[in-house]
A and B are shown apart, each in its own frame.
Chain A
Amino acid sequence: MVRKPRHVVKISRRTIVAGAAILLTARAVARPAIAELAGERSRSFQEAYARIVGDRTPEAGAFTMELPELAENGNMVLFKLSAESPMTEAEHVRALHLLSTQNPQGHVATFKLSLLSGAARVSGRMRLAKTQDVVALAELSDGRILMASSTVQVTIGGCGI
């Protein structure tokens, strides 16, 4: 007797990719306030965060961070930061910051942009010592700060971070 699977759901690769992209984006945008981050936050992270933010309150906005939900190797995790901005003298993104809440050092990178950048985006590879929230901040020309965050499950932590 041949057993047939009870439920056959056809999901194309494209659907999965699109769905994952929506999930990632939605999550990054939906959590504006630092107080809402569930995970632990190191002292080093809090200092780096305070240095950038000062007495301002980060907002959610047209700013996304793409990270994998699951990283098998914490030594090399692809990140992509992207803020919507015309990048004109009147309205541009001055800098993008990438922070780790649980690496030994909270400040991972600061990227200063200019009008010649033409777009407010950057991508690269980061280390994550263990499962944690990653926080990104975008400093706007009008003084506001946008924030995005994402939780990454790390299988094998970046050794020696």
Chain B
Amino acid sequence: MAKPRIKVPEAAKAGDVIEIRAIIQHPMETGNRKDANGQIVPRQIIHTFVAKFAGQVFFEGAFGPGISSNPSFAIPLKVPGPGQLELTWVDDEGVTTVETVTLNVTGG
């Protein structure tokens, strides 16, 4: 999987509900498509997405083939204080992609 992109606010205060945007390149092959030889193209999707902040899971996604290719989501986080955001994507081939971003937490 290609390197994902994560967008967070430039700065946040503890207690703020912020929006995290994440996108990753992935074909999300549904498993229903046939190739030129009439053979089914095997399913190859990201089925699991996990978001952690400061080591704690706060959001989990479980997906079927109905999610578009290059999955993109916007999810909320109520910032508890300073910490690192860690997002994980897992696909059918067992490839796990992990990306982290340190949140700039001011005041609060």
Contact = CB atoms under 8 A, between A and B. Distances in A.
B58 A117 contact: yes
Interface in A26-56: none
A157 B56 CA distance: 39
A108 B66 contact: yes
Interface in B32-73: 32-33, 41, 53, 56-69, 71-73
A123 B73 contact: yes
B86 to A, nearest CB: 13
B90 to A, nearest CB: 14
B65 A127 contact: yes
Contacts of B59: 111-114, 117
Interface stretch (B3-11, B76-84, B94-102): B76-84
Given A109-B67, A110-B62, A117-B78, A124 B72 contact: yes
Contact of B66 (A112, A118, A122, A126): A126
Nearest to A48: B64
B60 A124 contact: no
Given A112-B59, A122-B73, A161-B30, A103 B66 contact: yes
Contacts of B72: 124-125
Contact of A119 (B65, B73, B78): B78
A98 B63 CA distance: 10
A121 B73 contact: no
A152 interface: no
A114 B57 contact: yes
Contacts of A127: 30, 65-68
Given A114-B57, A117-B58, A117-B77, A160 B67 contact: no
A4 B17 CA distance: 53
Contacts of A121: 76
19 contacts: A75-B69, A98-B66, A108-B66, A109-B63, A109-B67, A111-B59, A111-B60, A113-B59, A114-B57, A116-B53, A117-B58, A122-B75, A124-B68, A124-B74, A126-B67, A126-B68, A128-B66, A160-B41, A161-B66
Interface of A: 75-77, 87, 98, 100, 103-105, 107-119, 121-128, 158-161
Given A103-B65, A112-B62, A161-B65, 4 more contacts: A100-B66, A108-B63, A116-B80, A125-B67
